[in-house]
């Protein structure tokens, strides 16, 4: 047993040292060769049948570690199947990204808003969930001409080489998308990591010039200094309270448990040779997100969390997402550039937010163009979650700001209220 454990640990160490080169075969063959050599040396003074005994733990360890090296999912990208209620189009942007685009025209009856509406989903590299699609259809019924696209590598969009994923590329793709749309300035809603992309777009005058009004909902950290801030989150979420998500998990298989686990720990890079980007995307499931999904809901909703997505539509790129997040952490402060922002902006934050409050308040303090903040009671990170009247309340808040109408909720917190907001752990 000790010999088997030693060889397995040695294998994992070599996986880290070689960054999983050759689907882990470089580490496996080195471990196997070393184990065989040591077993032969240990059995050199034994009679012939007894010389085979030291090879037994080597064989066991070789069999165990081989499961980390053998793919069990397709190694070429398999995109989710088409959705029945919206046509998937593909646009080749000026940046070179080929993205999946969805269009929900405004309802034929009732008022219609002349400015196109664009949605940036979270992820960072993730398909748009069916829960989000339902919310976009609600906005279309309220007169908005809604466009959404899955960022490069996410959903039905084409993959990029791993080294090309970055927060800067995401901002460039946004500008290129608006240009390709060709309808002038757009209103835009950025959610979670999509809010990070939108924040950085507002800090670039050349990109911000394409935006009419901006809504930032539950943003992630906007730059490296913000990402390093610590502090409290919102009120209690359903993390640790909700029943475990059902369904298959890739992380129950040795190959993907090792790959995703070591990537998350930073031991393997997102461009690891252990598993390719396409293979990782194909095998990752909604259940692999575990308690991350529950953290997007209030504790009171722990036992009624809705199904956010179908298996046929779910798509998440763990490696590309880690790569984008790392480029945010490595980026210098954008606060000085954001202070020159002039695009009218609204910030939406949730009562049970799973985001660090300092990420949100730093944005509020840095962007003078944020005209109102809407603290959304009774919801978690996923503000429009289909429960009760939450979708209608979120739509009302967004509509009021885009139409420059009175806010449905108090403007809270204001910049002056930030110290008290943080002190009271709201």
Residues 156 and 202 in one domain: yes
How many Å apart are CA 284 and CA 73, to the nearest integer? Answer: 10
- Give the torsion sign (CA, 375, 189, 80, 170): negative
Q: Alpha carbon of 127 to those of 313, 314, 398: distances in Å?
A: 8, 6, 22
The structural domain count of the chain equals: 2
Output the pLDDT for position 38.
Answer: 86
Contacts of 367 (CB under 8 A, 6+ apart): 199, 202, 338, 339, 341, 345
Contact indicator for 418, 373 with CB cutoff of 8 Å: no
Contacts of 231 (CB under 8 A, 6+ apart): 356, 357, 358, 422
Residues 93 and 236 in one domain: yes
Let me know if residue 72 belongs to a domain.
Answer: no
Residues 48 and 170 in one domain: no
Q: Is the peptide bond before 413 cis (omega within 30 degrees of 0)?
A: yes
Residues 31 and 176 in one domain: no
Token pair for 333: 């402060």
Residues 180 and 54 in one domain: no
Contacts of 408 (CB under 8 A, 6+ apart): 374, 393, 396, 397, 400
Let me know if residue 79 belongs to a domain.
Answer: no
Let me know if residue 221 belongs to a domain.
Answer: yes
Residues 303 and 179 in one domain: yes
Q: How many CA atoms lie within 13 A of 346 on its CB side?
A: 28
Token pair for 421: 């907001």
For helices 318-330 and 167-181, angle between their N-to-C axes, nearest 10 degrees? 100
Let me know if residue 58 belongs to a domain.
Answer: yes
Residues 356 and 216 in one domain: yes
Q: What domain range includes position 40?
A: 2-66
Q: One digit per residue, pLDDT tens: the chain, 426 residues?
A: 888 999 999 999 999 999 999 999 999 999 999 988 987 877 777 777 766 777 888 899 999 999 999 999 999 999 999 999 999 999 999 999 999 999 999 998 888 999 999 999 999 999 999 999 999 999 999 999 999 999 999 999 999 999 999 999 999 999 999 999 999 999 999 999 999 999 999 999 999 999 999 999 999 999 999 999 999 999 999 999 999 888 899 999 999 999 999 999 999 999 999 999 999 999 999 999 988 999 999 999 999 999 999 999 999 999 999 999 999 999 999 999 999 999 999 999 999 999 999 999 999 999 999 999 999 999 999 999 999 999 999 999 999 999 999 999 999 999 999 999 999 999
Q: Which residues of 3-15 are buried (b: 16+ CB within 10 A; e: fewer)?
A: bbeebbebbbebb
Residues 58 and 180 in one domain: no
Residues 6 and 107 in one domain: no
Residues 193 and 251 in one domain: yes
Which residue in 309, 313, 248 sits closest to 283, CA to CA? Answer: 248
Bridge partner residues of 373 (DSSP): 347
Strand, coil or helix: what is 345? Answer: strand
Q: Which of 66, 100, 118 is the endpoint of a domain?
A: 66
49-54-57-62 Cα dihedral, nearest 10 degrees? -90
Ramachandran angles phi, psi of 371, nearest 5°: -90, -30
Token pair for 409: 């909720």
Give the CATH number, domain containing residue 115.
3.40.50.1820
Helix (H) or strand (E) holding 90: strand 89-92
Residues 216 and 105 in one domain: yes
How many Å apart are CA 399 and CA 401, to the nearest integer? Answer: 5
């Amino acid at each position: 047993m000790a010999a088997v454990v030693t060889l397995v640990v040695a294998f994992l160490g070599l996986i880290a040292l070689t960054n999983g080169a050759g689907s882990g075969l470089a580490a496996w063959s080195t471990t196997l060769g070393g184990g065989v050599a040591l077993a032969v040396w240990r059995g050199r003074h034994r009679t012939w049948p007894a010389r085979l005994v030291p090879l037994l733990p080597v064989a066991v360890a070789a069999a165990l570690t081989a499961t980390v090296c053998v793919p069990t999912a397709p190694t070429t990208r398999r995109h989710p199947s088409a959705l029945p209620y919206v046509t998937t189009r593909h646009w080749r942007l000026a940046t070179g990204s080929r993205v999946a685009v969805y269009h929900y025209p405004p309802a034929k009856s009732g008022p219609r808003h002349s400015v196109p509406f664009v949605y940036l989903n979270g992820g960072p590299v993730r398909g748009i969930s069916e829960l989000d699609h339902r919310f976009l259809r609600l906005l279309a019924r309220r007169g908005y001409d809604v466009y959404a696209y899955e960022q490069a590598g996410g959903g039905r969009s084409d993959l990029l080489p791993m080294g090309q994923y970055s927060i800067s590329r995401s901002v460039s793709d946004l500008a290129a998308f608006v240009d390709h749309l060709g309808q002038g300035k757009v209103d835009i809603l950025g959610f979670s990591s999509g809010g990070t992309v939108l924040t950085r777009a507002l800090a670039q005058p050349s990109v911000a010039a394409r935006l009419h009004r901006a809504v930032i909902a539950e943003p992630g950290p906007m730059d490296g200094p913000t990402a390093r801030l610590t502090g409290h989150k919102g009120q209690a979420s359903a993390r640790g309270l909700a029943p475990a998500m059902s369904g298959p998990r890739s992380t129950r298989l040795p190959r993907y448990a090792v790959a995703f686990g070591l990537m998350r720990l930073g031991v393997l890079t997102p461009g690891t040779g252990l598993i390719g980007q396409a293979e990782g995307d194909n095998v990752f499931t909604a259940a692999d997100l575990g308690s991350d999904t529950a953290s997007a809901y209030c504790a009171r909703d722990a036992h009624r969390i809705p199904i956010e997505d179908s298996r046929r539509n779910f798509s998440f790129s763990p490696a590309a997402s880690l790569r984008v997040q790392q480029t945010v952490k490595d980026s210098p402060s954008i606060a000085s550039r954001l202070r020159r922002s002039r695009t009218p902006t609204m910030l939406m934050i949730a009562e049970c937010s799973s985001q660090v409050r300092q990420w949100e308040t730093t944005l509020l303090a840095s962007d003078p163009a944020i005209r109102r903040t809407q603290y959304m009671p009774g919801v978690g990170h996923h503000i429009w979650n289909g429960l009760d009247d939450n979708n209608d309340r979120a739509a009302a808040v967004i509509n009021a700001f885009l139409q420059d109408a009175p806010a449905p909720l108090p403007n809270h917190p204001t910049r002056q209220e930030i110290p008290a907001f943080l002190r009271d752990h709201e």
